[in-house]
């Protein structure tokens, strides 16, 4: 998958993320059917753009870095398929937050 990111770079304040896998089994061992699983809102940042250009002409960098875990909105984003894997493209301002280790 590393080669796919060398071929695709988000522009401006856009962030490319890979959603985390949905939980299929509860802590008690009960299997969750696919239709009952909720949308996964946690993702890992895999590529970021350079940032936006402000009115003063300076570039304001994106607030997240590659490898960070972020919280996404329930709706939005653009689905992109790179080497048979699904990724999503969000604006930096659409990302709700990031998880701290």
Inside any domain, residue 52: yes
Residue 1, pLDDT above cutoff 50 = no
Inside any domain, residue 30: yes
Inside any domain, residue 80: yes
Inside any domain, residue 8: no
Residue 46: domain span = 14-98
Inside any domain, residue 59: yes
Inside any domain, residue 6: no
| Beta strands per DSSP E along the chain | 14-19, 42-48, 52-53, 59-60, 69-71, 78-82, 85-91, 97-98
CA dihedral over 6, 9, 76, 101, signed as positive or negative:
positive
- Tens of pLDDT, residues 22-74: 666 667 777 766 665 667 788 889 988 888 888 888 888 888 888 889 988 88
Higher-confidence residue of 41 and 21: namely: 41
- Yes or no: say if 49 and 9 are a contact pair by the CB < 8 Å rule: yes
The HSE-up count of residue 17 (CA atoms within 13 Å, CB side) is 30
CATH of the domain at 25: 2.30.33.40
Instruction: Please give the tally of structural domains in the chain.
Output: 1
At residue 54, the 3 state secondary structure works out as coil
Instruction: Tell me the two tokens of residue 29.
Output: 């061992």
Instruction: Tell me the two tokens of residue 42.
Output: 């946690």
């Amino acid at each position: 998958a590393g080669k796919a990111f060398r071929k695709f770079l988000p522009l401006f304040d856009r962030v490319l993320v890979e959603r985390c896998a949905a939980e299929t089994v509860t802590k008690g061992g009960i299997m969750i059917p696919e239709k009952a699983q909720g949308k996964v809102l946690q993702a890992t940042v895999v590529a970021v753009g350079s940032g936006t250009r402000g009115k003063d002409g300076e570039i304001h960098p994106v607030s997240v870095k590659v490898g960070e875990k972020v919280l996404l909105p329930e709706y939005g984003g653009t689905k992109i398929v790179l080497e048979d894997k699904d990724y999503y493209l969000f604006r930096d301002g659409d990302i709700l937050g990031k998880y701290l280790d």
